[in-house]
Structure 1
């Protein structure tokens, strides 16, 4: 049984009741776990593409803007693919748009492409996953955007692989994507969309602007927390792994910003971002993607970077949900931030404060007002949540529109 508690903010008595009830079910949930992605990690390995991609493949290489050309990554990828038939598709934007991706789908079909290679960050990878699903789909492709976190009703998809140039989303080792369409951001999920392989060369990320590196640290950090900061189910392996990733990000995030060519720091950042969302820490535990769902609306409406929306929403969401998340927030305070003294509320408040300060130390602002959003525009965000069906969020399904409004107001 999962107990839903509405409209209560930081009530110690309710938190105690929830903890007692959760103790009755303090068992890891049943799960299946399978991750087929082959990770190729390390510098100067793009020449190995020739051995990883089928020899007779007709390959489409998908990427975003000019950075992969400017820094020579695309040339190395093309050289690694050898004499195969290659088609290029450029222009996949941040928060990839359905219309852009459908142009890629048309090219795939016209050129009989049978293998996709994404070269870029999470948006390029996500867009490529949608192309892989849509290219072989027999119905109206927009239907693929209507299934939420449920698997797509597809029986086949084109094989795909990735060359990751931005550590952030974990898309290089999972089956999920997010696609933008008509002002909304839609999850696209299927076991058929796992990359067959992903090449992770930390040196390819050296040239990233500092803001993208900082965003990547925040994105990975919140990915971990959305799977961790719920309620206890006795999953010590998942918890300890999650805590290890968080502590690694706290250590290497500032270091890799200060010294972009520090290979040790950048390698740990790249691998942390991958492990944050490759499924392992999320098995057998409840998950809460409320911060992401609210953040998606902020990106769609105001154009705020995805990670920046997460830094805005998460601390305020935790303040609003201290009753429901109390046990795990106390665990987070102790194990990640070494906070062991003071009352429960004081320890939780300090952990939230340290989390906000960590984001700010990376140069990522944590208030809506920092991004030019007016207080009265919160109504627009709440209306968007309602129109997109985001009316019962959280690990317990009790975060309704009234609570979302409260979170946004506190985040202002």
Structure 2
């Protein structure tokens, strides 16, 4: 196991009707900006709950943050926050709204071009405005980590940044908020969390028994919950476990002290930026093909994954690896997520465009071994062309 620092200051307020609790965690004299996405936050009553919890505090609302939060939109939020002398932010929504709020929090006090926050991946962030979150869509884990992804539409660029200054101070996790979600978003959330875990787990052995067992338990939980989540019934126990699993998938614990991959995400980000495919659906396209391409360097962990997550114990090493990858692919397909570019009417021309963008963004040595070059990324995408 590698040396590591583990730090996570986010307070979790978990359970039904916890939105009212934010009153205890925001200064009484705060000037609050509430950031949200579309009309669902208003239609479902969540915004009304937030307004009631804020009480007499001055509150400014900023809506319209996209499913892949756009730099251009977020800069308007920054301008509004500065003009209104806001000193606390509150994100109401899923990972995109929370990611966007993290960028706004970092950009408000930032001196210089805020785009450099993303091009420097957060290395130049030295302070941020405090903020909390009310999670309505479990998927990304952004409610309990210090990373965010933002898209700049004019550049077709989707870049990530991380900073210890953008941990949420608190996050409200109310499983009943998932009851009004469309099935597509629920399925995407399961897939997104699954791949988050895989990016930290299915790399190379690091002697990290605790992290491995946590990761395997989370993967097994998602496999078990997926059919029940897909049924769409408002079962509190199912949704509570689903919400908590997606948070643990990316709150830093299972990634502490272990090598991490993230090539699936980097390639997937380019697919989203170029072709506006749902983030989780790009991950379902890329991961099975990446595992096939990297099966030799990942062989030891693939065999561990096969046995501990999918209970595959019969056959030689190659057969067990084949079956584990096939089950992974079937898992995504069972959620309604295609694992091939052809399902989105994309062919070789899309591969050229994605590889060009990877090179433009410096993504030339991806993966835990840093051996996924643009040529390897091209082979991964070629494997993803069709069934």
Match of 2:119 in 1: 146
Q: Which runs of structure 2 are paired with 1:12-411 in the superposition (5 Å)? A: 28-148=1-121, 151-181=122-152, 182-411=155-384
Match of 1:21 in 2: none
The CA deviation at 1:384 is: 1.0
CA contact (8 A) 2:187 2:229 kept: no
CA contact (8 A) 2:204 2:298 kept: yes
CA contact (8 A) 1:147 1:187 kept: no
CA contact (8 A) 2:211 2:256 kept: yes
Structure 2 unaligned blocks of 5 or more? none
The Cα RMSD (Å) is: 0.8
Once residues 283 and 350 of structure 2 are traced to their aligned partners in structure 1, the CA distance between those partners, rounded to angstroms, is 18
CA contact (8 A) 1:49 1:81 kept: yes
SS in 2 for 1:261: coil
SS in 1 for 2:13: strand
SS in 1 for 2:61: strand
SS in 2 for 1:324: coil
SS in 2 for 1:342: coil
The CA deviation at 1:152 is: 2.7
CA contact (8 A) 1:133 1:158 kept: yes
Per-residue CA deviation, residues 212-257 of structure 1 (Å, 9 max, x unaligned), is: 0000000000000000000001100000000000000001121022
Once residues 54 and 250 of structure 1 are traced to their aligned partners in structure 2, the CA distance between those partners, rounded to angstroms, is 41
Aligned residues: 383
Once residues 301 and 109 of structure 1 are traced to their aligned partners in structure 2, the CA distance between those partners, rounded to angstroms, is 32
SS in 1 for 2:283: helix
CA contact (8 A) 2:183 2:232 kept: no
Once residues 116 and 262 of structure 1 are traced to their aligned partners in structure 2, the CA distance between those partners, rounded to angstroms, is 31
The CA deviation at 1:374 is: 2.3
Once residues 20 and 368 of structure 2 are traced to their aligned partners in structure 1, the CA distance between those partners, rounded to angstroms, is 44
Structure 1: 4+ residue segments shifted above 2 A? 374-377
Once residues 189 and 377 of structure 1 are traced to their aligned partners in structure 2, the CA distance between those partners, rounded to angstroms, is 29
Once residues 140 and 407 of structure 1 are traced to their aligned partners in structure 2, the CA distance between those partners, rounded to angstroms, is 35
Per-residue CA deviation, residues 48-105 of structure 1 (Å, 9 max, x unaligned), is: 1211111111000000000001111110111011110000000000111111000000
CA contact (8 A) 1:291 1:314 kept: yes
CA contact (8 A) 1:260 1:266 kept: no
Once residues 164 and 20 of structure 2 are traced to their aligned partners in structure 1, the CA distance between those partners, rounded to angstroms, is 28
The CA deviation at 1:161 is: 0.6
Structure 1 unaligned blocks of 5 or more? 1-27
Once residues 361 and 154 of structure 1 are traced to their aligned partners in structure 2, the CA distance between those partners, rounded to angstroms, is 41
Return the TM-score normalized by structure 1: 0.92
Higher relative contact order (CA 8 A, sep 6+): 1
Once residues 271 and 152 of structure 1 are traced to their aligned partners in structure 2, the CA distance between those partners, rounded to angstroms, is 29
Return the TM-score normalized by structure 2: 0.98
Once residues 410 and 194 of structure 1 are traced to their aligned partners in structure 2, the CA distance between those partners, rounded to angstroms, is 37
Match of 1:3 in 2: none
CA contact (8 A) 1:93 1:123 kept: yes
SS in 1 for 2:161: strand
CA contact (8 A) 1:165 1:204 kept: yes
SS in 2 for 1:124: helix
Once residues 110 and 290 of structure 1 are traced to their aligned partners in structure 2, the CA distance between those partners, rounded to angstroms, is 39
